[in-house]
């Protein structure tokens, strides 16, 4: 599916044109809560530069892929209670619906925080 960069929802979130509930940010990646979470923890991690999918990102900018995975792992460590998934869908047949590379950090259990 061909989407122009000006129509890419994740590019617009990175640019601040669409609001998102940000979780964390690095030089090359941005993480924010999914608007339709499928688990108690569901965060999306995207590269700040547009790449159609994770395979394109891996070949075009491997440093950005490492940055994305490191940021995702930090978020999982901070928010998940020990277990998490970091998944990538590549192509519409695999379930990719937004054609900007992104990882889903999901977990059924959240880390308990002391709010007392």
User: Has 100 been annotated as catalytic?
Assistant: no
Contact 62, 47 (CB under 8 A): no
- Across the chain, which distance is largest between two alpha carbons, in Å? 50
Single out the catalytic residue among 51, 79, 100, 102: 102
Token pair belonging to 28: 């090359």
* Active-site residue list: 102
């Amino acid at each position: 599916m061909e989407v122009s960069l000006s129509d890419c929802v994740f590019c617009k979130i990175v640019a601040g044109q669409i609001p998102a509930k940000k979780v964390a940010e690095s030089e090359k990646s941005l993480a924010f809560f999914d608007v339709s979470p499928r688990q108690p923890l569901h965060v999306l991690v995207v590269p700040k530069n547009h790449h159609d999918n994770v395979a394109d990102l891996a070949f075009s900018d491997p440093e950005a892929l490492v940055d994305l995975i490191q940021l995702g792992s930090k978020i999982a460590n901070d928010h998940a209670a020990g277990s998490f998934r970091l998944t990538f869908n590549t192509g519409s047949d695999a379930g990719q619906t937004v054609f900007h590379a992104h990882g889903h950090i999901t977990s059924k259990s959240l880390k308990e925080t002391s709010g007392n």
